[in-house]
Amino acid sequence: MADFTGIRRKKHNSDWQTYLEEFSTPESYIRSVKAIKAFMRQYNYSPNLELATIADNLYADVGAVAMTLIDLRFTQAQGVIEQRLEANQTAKKR
């Protein structure tokens, strides 16, 4: 399977038209630009909305919430384990 990591990285840091122009033949560039602009008109899409930044922030927030919940459940589990170990030790002493 081909590895497109380098190409994706280049695209991520450049304007989509610049990217297409660099990696396309003149014919496919014109065809792609027309298709993309038609899509943008049809769905009222604007690539200048900084959606990638918003998505990155949301991803970081979700990760922070998940870690908080994991820490909470871990602390709860530790408490239960300690209680049960204590109960077992008390039962053995009898």
- Same structural domain for residues 38 and 79? no
Taking the whole predicted model, whether its pTM rises above 0.75 is answered as no
* Confidence tier at 7 by pLDDT (50, 70, 90): low
In this structure, the answer to whether residues 11 and 31 fall within a common structural domain is yes
Alpha carbon distance, N-terminus to C-terminus of the chain: 66
Same domain, 40 and 56: no
Map residue 40 onto helix, strand or coil: helix
Q: 17 and 57: one domain? A: no
At residue 10, the pLDDT reads 56
| Interval 68-85 mean pLDDT | 96
**Short-list 11, 34, 12, CA closest to 23:** 11
Same domain membership, residue 32 and residue 16: yes
pLDDT in tens, 10-63: 555 567 888 888 888 999 999 999 999 999 899 988 777 677 788 889 999 999
Q: Are residues 19 and 3 in the same domain?
A: yes
Domain count for the chain = 2
Structural domain for 33, as ranges: 1-47
